[in-house]
Amino acid sequence: KPKLAERCTACHGTRGAATLNALVPRIHGQSRTYLAAQLFAMRRAEYGAESAGAFTLRSHPIMNSIAAGLTNNDISALADYLSTLPCR
């Protein structure tokens, strides 16, 4: 389990399964490719690489700032770990 995964628990719940807010997605058991793509998109959005009207823009003020601090290796490690958690 990457140390960075602990940051996810405040909003996504322990193990990414239970959330306190229905608008916060469950992230456990999603595909590795999907999770990494979402984190990369949020990182790009934080740096203004995509316009606000772009179809591929993934924007959330908290997640964008978190993703901005992630390296490519961090994103890969998080996506690998979260994709292995059970979907329940």
pLDDT of residue 48: 63
- Where would I find the H helices in 2-86? 9-12, 32-46, 61-68, 72-84
DSSP state for residue 43 in the 8-state scheme:
H
Measure CA of the first residue to CA of the last residue in the chain; give whole Å.
Answer: 18
Do the beta carbons of residue 50 and residue 44 sit within 8 Å? yes
Per residue in 5-49, pLDDT tens? 888 888 887 766 666 677 788 888 899 999 999 999 888 876 665
Element containing residue 84 per DSSP (H, E): helix 72-84
